[in-house]
Amino acid sequence: MDGLRNGFRVLGLARSLARHDALSALERLDIAPGAVRLAKLVSGSRADACSANTLARALSEAGPGFAALGRLAGLFWDPLQLGARGAGDDPRSRPPPFAAHVARATIARELRQPVASLFSAFDDAPDTIGHLAQVHHARSADGRALAVKVLRPGVHGALMRDLALIRLLADRLARRRPEWRGLRIEDAIDGFAEALETEIDFRIEAAAATEIADNFAGDETFRLAGTDWERSTRRVLTRELVTGPRIGERDAILAAGFDSDQVLGNLIAAFFKQVLRDGAFVAEVSGETLRLAQDGAIVAADLGAVVRLTPGVRRNLGALLVGLVVRDFESAAQALLEAGWVPPHRERASTARTLERIAGAAAGGWGSFSHVIVRVFHDAELAILEGQPRLISFESALLAIERIAIAIAPQTPLWDTALPVIRSCLADIPAQSGRRIEHPRPVANGRAEGRRPGEAPARPPVDALRLYPKAIRRLRLDVEKNPFLPMMWIVFVVFFLTLALIL
């Protein structure tokens, strides 16, 4: 039954691609040839190479999970040379808004009060529309301007179905295209799914925003929109409304009197501080959600998923970046070897030659230096991404930063600006003491491998979620709001025990 259902869903995906003349994307992967042939026969679609924008529009019709996959594919289309004719954000790939009365009903149900009691004003027309949620402007009784993010109804079930199909297609791709194993597609999908699943629980997003805000306390160049915890739950997130030019709009930035080079410098500094200094960074960077406040600070109006890196990963990643920027391939290779990110049989000299070969391709004109980094990570010979799927999130964020840089300050050398920031962040990473395993092996025989009997348990992993007091109170309130929940569990247990005795 599942096979039949998946077959119909693959056919529906092929038809969606065919409507936009984007079947070539599925045809090149060779994972559903029957569905491709049938869709071509019915629609008369061409098999020409499609652009990333076309692919994003086609995938946006297939569901929220595929829409997010389309945005990710758009970022990697050019650096991985997948045959695109350009990429960028396309308003036509955005979904239609859901009705205002649905948004009001969701808010009232989640916060246990009618919208009129919660806000003195509420704009029924959404300001921002996404596949997972949409944002409405509102005003509190004390006059504060607010942005209310409401989860799209039914998105959880749709997202789970999309992810199941995406995993199925990824499994087929891994089996049919063994030459792509170096891309670590399965790991990429796992990281992609993990990020999406956290994005549909706004409590996790709010807690992560509080953590990043704490990391940037006292920083006058970057901050996050404040969270209104009393008006936030799993499906509703209320923040202060951030106005000002979007960071990806050069004309608006210049018209407001800001220096685009300074704005770019602040953006790069904020990004690498998150990645290397703090080890917690925003995975989905967008010029739509970053704005400039009147004091020139960059304000993140929306956050999404946050990815975490351990100190060892940050240290080795920073050393690799510095080595590639200054073209010191020996030190870059040494960073890879010390991190254990390349096969154990590799030597430093051969690894350095591989890095030089990949970097040398940039002179041929196929991409920017950020593309060099992506090609290094995805090179099948180096196999860096094996066991390091979170680096894919770093790559996608880095490529998004570069797009913003090209849009607002095309003449500014991005990596000349980034190099001193990277070196400064490396100096702030805690020194490594002794040999450290960054990714412990699974538990075996009741205890973690490598732990001696009687030894104290290891501290929680660095990438564990930190729950702040307000997040803990919100989690508790969500249960307290439904006092019948514990009683319901007792009734269910008694019912099934009685049924078992009767049978």
Query: Looking at residues 117-123, what average pLDDT do you find?
Result: 95
CA–CA separation, 304 and 131 (whole Å): 12
In sequence order, the 6+-apart residues with CB closer than 8 A to the CB of 172 are 31, 32
What pLDDT, on the 0 to 100 scale, is given for residue 222?
94
Q: pLDDT at residue 372 above 60?
A: yes
What pLDDT, on the 0 to 100 scale, is given for residue 463?
43
Listed in order, strand segments (DSSP E) in 167-289 are: 222-224, 236-240, 280-282
pLDDT tens digits, residue range 433-489?
A: 433 334 333 333 333 333 333 444 344 444 444 554 555 555 444 444 455 555 666
Query: Looking at residues 174-179, what average pLDDT do you find?
Result: 71
Buried b (16+ CB within 10 A) or exposed e, 23-40: bbbbbebebbeebbeebb
Q: pLDDT at residue 44 above 70?
A: no
Of 3, 9, 36, 20, the C-alpha closest to 158 is 9
pLDDT tens digits, residue range 236-262?
A: 999 999 888 998 889 999 999 999 999
What pLDDT, on the 0 to 100 scale, is given for residue 49?
57
Each domain of the chain, given as residue ranges in start order, spans: 2-92, 244-430
What pLDDT, on the 0 to 100 scale, is given for residue 438?
40
What pLDDT, on the 0 to 100 scale, is given for residue 373?
80
Helix axes 369-378, 311-325, angle to 10 degrees: 130
pTM: 0.74
What pLDDT, on the 0 to 100 scale, is given for residue 150?
96
Query: Looking at residues 280-309, what average pLDDT do you find?
Result: 86
Q: pLDDT at residue 410 above 70?
A: yes
Q: pLDDT at residue 140 above 80?
A: yes
Dihedral (C-alpha) 443, 444, 447, 449: value to the nearest 10 degrees? -80
387 or 262, higher pLDDT: 262
pLDDT tens digits, residue range 330-353?
A: 999 999 888 888 777 788 898 898
CA–CA separation, 96 and 135 (whole Å): 13
What pLDDT, on the 0 to 100 scale, is given for residue 288?
80
